[in-house]
Amino acid sequence: MELTKTRKKIHPQKFMMWVAMGSMSMAFAGLTSGYVVRQAQGNWRYYSLPAMFWYSTIAIVISSVTMIMAVKAFKNREMPKYKILVSITLILGIIFGLLQYGGFYQLYHELQQVTINGETLKQAETVRIDGNPSESFLFVIAGLHLAHLFGGIIALLFVFFRAFRKNVKVYSSTGLEIAATYWHFVDILWVYLFVFFLANQ
């Protein structure tokens, strides 16, 4: 008796998402590796991470959990529960974004200050000081991260508005799964960067 094996093919859009995430991961791996190499060469300005980064980390980790629960609720056709979980995920995502912006804004102003004779002064109040390479690396990484975060918020908004449309007869979870995968990627990426910055501050 001949057994027929059915291969489960990955959805083309999911495949493209995984390829994109792989490329983005390599980009961040390259940037953080360069960060470590340049830091070891000296002439490096150290900094302490603002408390807002701790709060933002908690927010995005919880949002990943609610997103997992939302996908499960959608597949079980528990639509009222799904809508609540999607709404919570979006709110946490926006809170994460605001905390990230506030944290990097605070960090930027910290790096724009220097200490001379025990007094903390803004660089503009002193003689001209060339930008430290730590600032360049930090804000290139931060800018790239915030760009990916913006994409994640857009994906959450898309899922949110789609969830509150009128009754939908076709229950395809593909779009939701792609958005969820990307949001989890943003979560993992930030946790990686957060631990990296903590280890190198």
What distance in Å separates the CA atoms of residue 63 and residue 89, rounded to the nearest whole number?
A: 5
Mean pLDDT, consecutive 10-residue stretches, the chain (201 aa), reads: 49 76 87 87 81 95 96 92 95 95 86 53 45 78 89 93 73 85 94 90 73
pLDDT at 81: 94
DSSP 128: -
How many Cβ atoms are within 10 Å of 92's Cβ, its own excluded? 22
pLDDT at 139: 82
* pTM of structure: 0.81
CATH 1.20.120.80 fits 47-199, yes or no: yes
pLDDT at 66: 97
Task: Give the pLDDT confidence of 25-39 residue by residue, as tens digits.
Answer: 898 888 888 888 888
How many Cβ atoms are within 10 Å of 169's Cβ, its own excluded? 4
pLDDT at 35: 87
pLDDT at 185: 93
How many Cβ atoms are within 10 Å of 109's Cβ, its own excluded? 10
Cα within 13 Å of Cα(154), Cβ side: 6
Instruction: Tell me the C-alpha to C-alpha distance, in Å, between residue 64 and each of 113, 121, 130, 139, 156.
Output: 36, 41, 40, 25, 11
* Helix, strand, coil abundance in the chain, percent, nearest 5: 75, 5, 25
**Contact criterion met (CB below 8 Å) for 43 and 132:** yes
Supply φ then ψ for residue 126, to 5 degrees. Answer: -115, -175
Closest alpha carbon to 105 in 141, 52, 55, 150 = 52
